[in-house]
């Protein structure tokens, strides 16, 4: 079971590899639709005709995109109308999904080991720093192998 979870994580990283670097792209303040439409010198009326709506409808879609309330369905339709392909995906803030799980596993392991060590310190049985770090690393490794659901709590 462990290998399946890690394998699935690695496959997810490979599938989303093309999106790496896209997190650096800055979305225009008025959104992509408005920016692309204006850059290509397409009027609201022209895009509206391709979408089967009036210029007010297109303006509404541009505003919804800039506010983050537009649907993926509309983004795909607009992409087709502009002879483009709309793509979306997710990029881990940790560089990869495997790194994300590793960071979460380490944080959980540190919390668990520190709590245990704190209880032991109350009984004058605290563990030295080197052994404490080793215990955190070992537990983090086990948590990562299992991709435990508790890392998301």
pTM: 0.74
**Do residues 70 and 33 share a domain?**
yes
Q: 64, 90, 116 — which closes off a domain?
A: 90
Query: Do 118 and 152 sit in the same domain of this protein?
Result: yes
- Give CA separation, 30 vs 9, 66, 82, in Å: 35, 5, 17
Q: Which residues contact 13 (CB under 8 A, 6 or more apart)?
A: 96, 97, 98
pLDDT in tens, 45-99: 999 999 999 999 999 999 999 999 999 999 999 999 999 999 998 888 898 988 9
Give the length of the chain: 153
Based on the fold, state whether residues 75 and 133 are members of the same structural domain.
no
Residues 108 and 150: their CA atoms lie apart, in Å, by 8
Residue-number span of the structural domain to which 69 is assigned: 24-90
Of the two residues 146 and 118, the one the predictor is more confident about is 146
> What's the confidence (pLDDT) of residue 9?
87
For the cut 80, the answer to whether the pLDDT of residue 118 exceeds it is: no
């Amino acid at each position: 079971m462990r290998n399946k979870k890690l394998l699935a994580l690695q496959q997810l990283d490979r599938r989303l590899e093309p999106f790496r670097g896209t997190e650096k792209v800055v979305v225009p303040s008025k959104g992509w639709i408005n920016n692309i439409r204006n850059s290509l010198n397409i009027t609201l009326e022209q895009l509206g005709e391709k979408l089967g709506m009036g210029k007010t409808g297109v303006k509404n879609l541009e505003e919804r995109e800039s506010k983050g309330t537009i649907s993926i369905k509309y983004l795909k339709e607009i992409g087709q109308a502009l002879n483009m392909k709309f793509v979306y995906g997710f990029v881990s803030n940790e560089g990869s999904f495997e790194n994300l799980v590793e960071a979460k596993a380490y944080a959980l392991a540190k919390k668990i080991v520190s709590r245990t060590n704190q209880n032991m310190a109350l009984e004058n049985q605290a563990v030295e720093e080197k052994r404490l770090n080793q215990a955190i690393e070992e537990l983090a490794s086990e948590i990562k192998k299992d991709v435990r659901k508790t890392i998301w709590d």
